Amino acid sequence: MTSNLQASPKTLREMAGAPGWNRPKPGEAAILLIDAQEEYRSGALALGDVTLALEEIARLRQHGGELGLPVFHIRHAGTAGGLFDLDARGGAFCAEAEPVAGETVIDKRLPNAFAGTQLANLLAEKDIRRIVVAGFMTHMCVSSTVRAALDLGFASAVVASACATRSLPTHDGGVVFSADVHRAALAALADRFADVLPGAAAV
């Protein structure tokens, strides 16, 4: 017999009575665009849903500009000749996420965008304690960054349709397909770490 808890699960945030996401005032939150680089569109890690996610990232940037939210571009800096080589096509920003004047670019070498970078300090300088996260991959750098953000005292929202990931092999020789990896990663974040918003308009 299925228990009520299994039939109608609640997140830990819901159980604790955590408030839902409310629209930030100008300068109150920042948009973090994580690894929106060509490696995920035309490189070895090309993602099936990357085009749709990049289109939503473009909408998020426009909506964020209307709300007065600064944009931080997180760029993965890979090794020369390898994935995310900043001197090769794979390391370049996708056109939809190309930084413009006034936006901040931060290079990282680990999945967590706070690890070994000045991201936390730069946000603190602007008195920002809320972040809106989008980018790639949902289960990897997006998840790692959002989980670390909680430890550092930041409130996070993840824009679901502005993220994407890839299919993964399992320990028993199977495959978890990308849509399921994406959905599960978002569910895990929503349980404790972040508000998960369906699209840019919900910010």
Note the pLDDT tens digit of each residue in 65-111: 999 999 999 999 999 999 999 999 999 999 999 999 999 999 999 99
| Residue 6 included in any domain | no
The per-residue pLDDT for 160 is: 98
Average pLDDT in the 146-155 region? 98
Average pLDDT in the 35-58 region? 97
CB-based burial, 89-106: b 16+ in 10 Å, e otherwise:
ebbbbbebbeeeeeebeb
| Residue 38 included in any domain | yes
| Residue 74 included in any domain | yes
The per-residue pLDDT for 5 is: 57
Which stretches of 114-184 are assigned E, i.e. beta strand?
Answer: 130-136, 155-164, 168-169, 175-176
The per-residue pLDDT for 1 is: 43
Domain with residue 81: its CATH number is 3.40.50.850
* Beta-carbon contacts of residue 173 (< 8 Å; ≥ 6 apart): none
The per-residue pLDDT for 4 is: 56
| Residue 14 included in any domain | no
Percentage of the chain surpassing pLDDT 70? 98
The domain of 66 spans: 31-202
| Residue 7 included in any domain | no
| Residue 8 included in any domain | no
Environment class of 198 (CB within 10 Å of its CB; exposed 0-12, middle 13-18, buried 19+):
exposed
The per-residue pLDDT for 6 is: 73
The domain tally of the chain equals 1
Asked if residue 133 lies in contact with residue 157, where contact means CB atoms within 8 angstroms, the answer is: yes
| Residue 21 included in any domain | no
Place 176 in a pLDDT band, splitting at 50, 70 and 90: very high
Average pLDDT in the 109-124 region? 98
| Residue 26 included in any domain | no
